[in-house]
Structure 1
Amino acid sequence: MARNEEKAQSMLNRWVDMKNEEKRKPKERRPYLASECRDLAEAHKWRSEILREIGVKVTEIQNEGLGEHRLRDLNDEINKLLRERVHWERRIVELGGPNYTKHAAKMTDLEGNIIDVPNPSGRGPGYRYFGAAKKLPGVRELFEKPPEVKKRRTRYEIYKRIDASYYGYRDDEDGILEKLEAPAQDDMRRRAVEELERIKAIRSEAMKMVKSGEVASVEPTAAPAVEVVLFEGVEDVVEEERRLEMEEELERTKVQQEFVAHVPLPDDKEIERMVVEKKKKELLSKYMSEELMEEEQEAKEMLNVNR
């Protein structure tokens, strides 16, 4: 009895499904060309249908046990649906809808990294691989990165990035170092000015005492520093006097010295004659050979001609 009831129930179910199918409208077929669609809502509907088909096929292609031929066919079908989706998205934009291409997914390798494969395996631009199709023979090599070869840098490549910042010449451009060093710099400048004023005062006092022939008396607390300053002041005075005396002596010797020529100097006519002779020799050497000049000289000697 149970068996017959199951059969009847099965037949009843099929009869109910058949009646429901009769009441339904005939299944509308997606247009072959996206340009044939004139309604924005229908364009969204066909795009959603394509996305569902892509999702089903992408889920199916994850199974590595389907075989190489089935995986390749599935991958081709998915790429065909992707191209069709692009046509519908372009049509949606033409009809005034949103632009879905801005947020399109990018291709990834086996590790999930985004890569750019413009024309792999010669199947045209934009061809992509999904799921187990990435591990097929001849496809895995497209996603494998070549091993990086560490190239030894040359001396030029090492030094071309070294600039003034490397040596610390621009450390104070941001103004932070200047603010930190300003108090210490002011303190050092103030101490240097005070020390200079003190030395100037001691040196001027020492100069007065040296000129007057008196001996300067110093306090025991500042004896070493003051003695150095006093000795420096005396040495400066003596050195200045010696320099002045030497300059005066040099001026007197310059006035007393006179130039004496021990060799007779030629006059203007003699200089002019020597210049003419030199130019004559240059012209002769330019237009006459050495043999001709030697024959001319021998002829002059034989004839006793000086000129």
Structure 2
Amino acid sequence: MARNEEKAQSMLNRFIAMKQEEKRKPKERRPYLASECRDLAEADRWRSEILREIGAKVAEIQNEGLGEHRLRDLNDEINKLLRERAHWERRIVELGGPNYARGAPRMTDLEGNIVDVPNPSGRGPGYRYFGAAKKLPGVRELFEKPPEAKRRRTRYDIYKRIDASYYGYRDDEDGVLERLEAPAEAEMREKAVAEWRRLESIRREAMKAVKSGEVATAGAPEAAAAAAAATEVLFEGEEDVVDEERRLEREREEREQSKESEFVAHVPLPDEKEIERMIVEKKKEELLSRYTSDVLQEEQKEAMAMLNVRR
């Protein structure tokens, strides 16, 4: 059985293919300018053809093994077709057709996020990159976001976060500090109560001994201990009295020193009215010396002396 290539080269098959080519109309070329098209259906057909070409080239540009030069050429061709598609879409709107540009896709980065790069490479407004062209040297940087500059905290930002917890006013609210300090607090309270009870019992015994008139002998150790305890209790009571007397004595000495340091004037001092009159006289003399001559001032003084007029 003959293969497909041999069948295609046979005389009959070549003759049939030639006849079909003759019946087919010559292939129509797309107009160079969209403004030359006058038919809406034709304009829509040319736009669909451009979209198919764009889809084929976009699928081809996904291959990273094509090389840098081929990827850049493919990206330029896709952008050229995109501009041509925009021309045809505007022409379709002019002929009364739908506005396809309203729902056109936007440019995305490597992660698929929509970005707005109006003129990333200086090749004209709206230049876009597709597929592996986004990873070319010098193109990846266009899609990378600049690192955010670390702003230095101001004094206002620092103090804004300071509250009562910063100063330790809320340390007791969680209950942790209370649980930790409870045993030590109980122990200190027990010691204080025990010391107070001991001193209170010694004070009662001492008061009983004083009221009953008992006298302790030097040879009795129990009496000596009781006398020492009574002395301790009485000494604690006397300390408060001594401190109060010392404070009163200190205040008395301070009052005497303040009296001695008071200022005593041995000459008469002018009152406020006299001082005010002297200031007015001084200002009058300054004004007269500024606006009158020395001769007029002397004549005025002589006239006032002759008339016995005092200022």
2:6 is matched with 7
Offset, 1:72 = 0.7
2:89 is matched with 89
Cα 1:159–1:56 change in 2 (3 A) is farther
Cα 1:296–1:156 change in 2 (3 A) is same
Whether 1:39 and 2:36 are equivalent positions in the alignment is no
Offset, 1:48 = 0.2
1:132 is matched with 132
Whether 1:149 and 2:149 are equivalent positions in the alignment is yes
CA deviation vs aligned residue, 1:189-239 (integer Å, no higher than 9, x gap):
xxxxxxxxxxxxxxxxxxxxxxxxxxxxxxxxxxxxxxxxxxxxxxxxxxx
Deviates further, 140-149 or 92-101: 140-149
Distance 1:81 1:149 in 2: 40
1:250 is matched with none
Cα 1:69–1:14 change in 2 (3 A) is farther
Tell me, what secondary structure is at the counterpart of 1:121? coil
Distance 2:14 2:77 in 1: 32
Kindly provide the amino acid, as one letter, of the partner of residue 22 in structure 2: E
Distance 2:5 2:95 in 1: 53
Distance 1:119 1:14 in 2: 53
Kindly provide the amino acid, as one letter, of the partner of residue 97 in structure 1: G
Alignment TM-score, normalising by the size of structure 2: 0.52
Distance 2:131 2:89 in 1: 24
Alignment TM-score, normalising by the size of structure 1: 0.53
Kindly provide the amino acid, as one letter, of the partner of residue 40 in structure 2: L
Kindly provide the amino acid, as one letter, of the partner of residue 6 in structure 2: K
1:100 is matched with 100
Distance 1:78 1:31 in 2: 18
**What is the 5 A alignment of 1:1-307?**
2=2, 6-11=5-10, 13-152=13-152, 154=154, 282-288=283-289, 307=310
2:217 is matched with none
Offset, 1:14 = 4.6
2:210 is matched with none
Cα 1:97–1:280 change in 2 (3 A) is same
Offset, 1:10 = 3.4
Offset, 1:154 = 4.0
Alignment RMSD: 3.7
Tell me, what secondary structure is at the counterpart of 1:122? coil
Count of residue pairs the alignment pairs up: 188
Offset, 1:121 = 1.2
Distance 1:70 1:138 in 2: 16
Distance 2:2 2:73 in 1: 45
Offset, 1:277 = 11
Distance 2:8 2:36 in 1: 45
Kindly provide the amino acid, as one letter, of the partner of residue 55 in structure 1: G
Distance 1:19 1:156 in 2: 89
Cα 1:296–1:152 change in 2 (3 A) is same
CA deviation vs aligned residue, 1:75-114 (integer Å, no higher than 9, x gap):
1110000000000000101111101111001000001000
Kindly provide the amino acid, as one letter, of the partner of residue 141 in structure 2: E
Kindly provide the amino acid, as one letter, of the partner of residue 67 in structure 1: G
CA deviation vs aligned residue, 1:152-202 (integer Å, no higher than 9, x gap):
454667999xxxxxxxxxxxxxxxxxxxxxxxxxxxxxxxxxxxxxxxxxx
Instruction: Identify unmatched segments of 5+ residues in structure 2.
Output: 161-275
Distance 1:159 1:51 in 2: 61
Cα 1:20–1:72 change in 2 (3 A) is same
Instruction: Identify unmatched segments of 5+ residues in structure 1.
Output: 161-274
Larger radius of gyration: 2
Distance 2:149 2:31 in 1: 52
